[in-house]
Amino acid sequence: MIFIEHFITCNIDGSPLSLPAIIICNRMPFSQDGTDSVNRDLRQDPVIRYLLEWARPSLRDEPDYVRLSHTYLNAGQTILLQYLPQNNRNQSINQMEYMCQSVINSCSYKRNIQAYECCKNVIYKVATTNGLCWVFYDRYMSQDSSQPMQQFSLTFQMSRNSWYSQQTTPIHPGIDIYLKENVNDIMTIVNQLENPIRLLDKKGIHIKIHKEKRVDLRRKLCGSSLSDAELADKNALARNETNILMCVIMISMQYCGCHPLLAEMIPEISLRDFSLRVNSTQVCTLDQYETCARPYVHMARPSSWLEPVPKDMLGAADISYCRRKNPYPCQTVSYPGIIDHYDLPSVYQNTQDFVARLVLQYTTTQVTEVLKTNGSNVYELLSYIGYNIATWFTIAKFFETDTSYFQKCYLCSYDFIIQAPLTCISGCYL
């Protein structure tokens, strides 16, 4: 018996289609004024550099990361632990961050919108494994198939004096952008940000996107259809079973004797004893995080969902339990598309401020659904195809129509090679 793994790809009209939530991660989230408001002694290069790594656990994974000397980082660590004690550390770090209107200059969707109005749709200070971020989301901004495809734009502007440092940030490092479907589960933002789109100074990015849903129906808990998978994810959220990151952080606290800084800043505490455990341990220094806590956080990342838990890892059985109690989602939603980079107009080129613009636009209201299914026996599948061909030719003949609809919806390419993809033309359902 031969079994194959295949995909079924279909398009449906999603109109009206809401704009995705825009995750905004400023790579220099701390303003000079905000830092001064906590303590002027914090405005030192070693302090800011240490804090950047502390608050963005993924920084050392980046290809352009430059490791600094222990002496340099230890100087920053000493000052931070002195001026940011655990009882008010989260509040102080939030205070050091930019205010919204100091970052967002304006936005537009069908009309120009001033910064104050734009910022009404911003969720502030969401700590993630990719740094300190904001979320722009307006569920009422949508695209209808009967209307021309509208552009949404966000213009960012930060004064040079608010971020410039001769050693740490002589050039602004930019803003990372991520797109998520909504903000229903904040933990998906905290722990599932991947493939950033980076905005650089004096540059604009125009992204022409379409919405894509991917569902893994090979897993029993996900059911046998897209609606089953969506319901499974909805029920998991309602049952508080989407907290894999917090679960593995609690294990790391047990074996490392400290907690990642992120644990103090997670915006929603959904596990009863999580906050208690955080308050009963010290925060991990950068060295402690690297040598002990990082592998635990890594096991919760999407890139590790299918990786086996290393058997020699302390608490391996507990991590496996976390995975069983908090399974990765049945459905993932992404917004692939074409990215065009361009220079901003000359009016922005002559300022020393950081200025960048994001333009987002749907190319279609059609939503691509990709279903990954278990392999089927080749002979059964051929019989199934033959049955449907006969059925649709009969229907076409009965209604005296041509077979163009059949050709569109049922002529799919089957490649009977183990693990070969199966792709159906737009609008096809099997």
- For residue 296, being part of any structural domain is answered with yes
In a domain, 375, yes or no: no
Convert the pLDDT of each residue in 120-130 to its tens digit: 999 988 999 99
Q: Is residue 275 part of a domain?
A: yes
CA distance 323 to 214: 20
User: Token pair of 263, please?
Assistant: 């644990």
| Residues present in the chain in total | 430
Least confident of 238-242, 296-300, 324-328, 413-417: 413-417
User: Do the domain assignments include residue 43?
Assistant: no
Residue 405 has pLDDT above 60, yes or no: no
Domain count, the chain: 1
State the pLDDT at residue 270. 59
Residue 152 lies in a domain: no
Tokens (6 digits) for 259: 């907690």
What is residue 107's predicted lDDT score, i.e. its pLDDT? 96
Tell me the C-alpha distance between 269 and 266, whole Å: 7
Whether the CB-CB separation of 189 and 195 falls below 8 Å is answered with: no
CA distance 163 to 79: 20
Domain of 281 in residue numbering reads as 243-328
% of the chain surpassing 70 pLDDT: 85
102 burial via Cβ count (<10 Å: 0-12, 13-18, 19+) = middle
* Domain presence at residue 5: no
pLDDT band at residue 377, thresholds of 50, 70 and 90? Answer: very low
The residues pairing with 154 across neighbouring beta strands, listed in sequence order, are 107, 358
Reported pTM: 0.86
Domain for residue 67, yes or no? Answer: no
Span 125-143, average pLDDT: 94
What average pLDDT does this structure show over 296-317? 95
Lowest mean pLDDT among 160-164, 235-239, 388-392: 388-392
Q: What is the mean pLDDT of the chain?
A: 87
The token pair that represents 38 in the structure block: 């906590």
257: left (phi over 0), alpha (psi -120 to 50) or beta: left
**Residues 286, 53: Cα–Cα separation, whole Å:** 8
Residue 257 domain-assigned?
yes
Question: What digits encode the pLDDT tens for the residues 192-246?
Answer: 999 999 999 999 999 999 999 999 999 999 999 999 999 999 999 999 999 999 9
**413 pLDDT higher than 70:** no
